Amino acid sequence: MNKKLGGLLLAVVVLAAIVLSGALYSVDQTKQAIVLEFGKPVGGVKNAGLHIKMPFVQQVIYFDKRLLVYDSPPTEIITMDKKNLIIDNYAKWYIADPLLFYKSVGNESGAQARLDDIVYAQLRVEMGKHTLSDIVSKYRDKIMTTVTKKCADLGKMYGIKVVDVRIKRADLPEQNEKHVFERMRAERSREAKRYRSEGQEEAIKIRSQADQERTIILAEAKKKSEIIKGNGDAEATKIYAQAYSKDKEFYKFARSLEAYKNSLKSNSTFVISSDSDFVKYLFKNKK
C-alpha cells in the first residue's frame, strides 16, 4: 500500500513539475515576446523577466528587440535624366509593435521582404526626381533623409520602425562605364589643353615683362656708367690740366712715354723719321 502511495505521489510530483515548467517562461533582455492561444495572440507584449502561461494551451513567440539591418541586393534605378544607376543600399530597423508585426508579416523573413518592396519603391521615386550628377554630388543626404522618413511612415502599418536608409555604393551599369570613361577622358583632355594654353600665355607675359625690366635695368646701368665715365674723364682732364699748367715739358714727356708704352710692343717694327715729334724724346740725346 505504501509503495502504491509513494508511486502515486511521485507521479503527481513529476506531473506538477511538467505542468509548472510548461507554465513558466522567461524573456531575455534582448527579446520581447507574445503569447499565442490556439494560434491567436493574447495578453499583450511581454518584456524581459519571468512570466506565466497556460501549459499545453498557450505558446510563446520571441522577437528580437535590438536594432536590425536589412541589406538588399543591388538594384537598377533610372534617374531624371534617363541614366541607369545601380544602387546598393541598406536599412536599419527594429520591431516596434510585436503584435502588429506578427499579424502583418509573421517573422523577420516576412519583414525583410516587405522592407525590400518599400525601400526600393521609395528610392526609385526619389532618385527619379534628380539627375545623376545631383545624386552623386549634391542631394544624396537629402534624398536619404526623405527616403528614410517615407519608409518609416509606411513601416508603421507592419509594426516596423525604420531608423535609417543609406546607400553603400552607386555604380553605373557595365555597358555605360566605357562611354562615361571616354567622356570623362575627353573632358580632362580639354581641361589640360586649356591649362597648357593659359600657362603658355602667362609664360609669354612673364618673359615679356622680364625682358622689359632687363632692358630698363641695362639702360639705367649704361646711363650710370656713362655718367661715371664722364665724371672720371672730366676729373682726369682737370688733373691733366693742372699738371700741364705746372710743368708743360714734363707733361709732354709723360704723355710721350705713355704713347711709347702703348705703341712699341715686343716684336714691333716702325718706319718713322727721326725728326718726328713722336720720337723726339728717344733720339733727343743723339742730336
Residues 93 and 30 in one domain: no
Three-state DSSP class for 275? Answer: coil
**What pTM value is reported for the model?**
0.54
Residues 41 and 73 in one domain: no
Residues 116 and 157 in one domain: yes
Q: In the structure, what pLDDT confidence band is assigned to residue 287 with cuts at 50, 70 and 90? A: very low
Domain end marker among 109, 144, 172: 172
Is residue 46 assigned to a domain? yes
* Residue 176 CB partners (closer than 8 Å, separation 6+): 83, 84
Residue 93: per-residue pLDDT: 93
Taking the mean position of all CA atoms in its chain, how far away is CA 15? 70
- Mean local confidence (pLDDT), 223-239: 84
Angle at 247 between CA 245 and CA 248, to 5 degrees: 75
Q: Which of 166, 79, 63 is nearest to 119 (CA)?
A: 166
Q: In the chain, how many domains are there?
A: 3
Three-state DSSP class for 255? Answer: helix
Residues 89 and 156 in one domain: yes
Residues 164 and 82 in one domain: yes
To which H or E segment does residue 95 belong?
Answer: strand 84-95
Residue 242: per-residue pLDDT: 75
Higher-scoring residue by pLDDT: 183, 50:
50
Residues 75 and 159 in one domain: yes
Residue-wise pLDDT tens digits, 79-112: 888 888 888 888 999 999 998 999 899 888 899 9
Residue-wise pLDDT tens digits, 128-151: 888 877 777 777 888 888 999 999
Structural domain boundaries enclosing 140: 68-172
233 vs 256: CA distance, rounded Å: 19
Which residue has 531624371 as its cell numbers? 80
Domain end marker among 172, 190, 213: 172
Residues 124 and 103 in one domain: yes
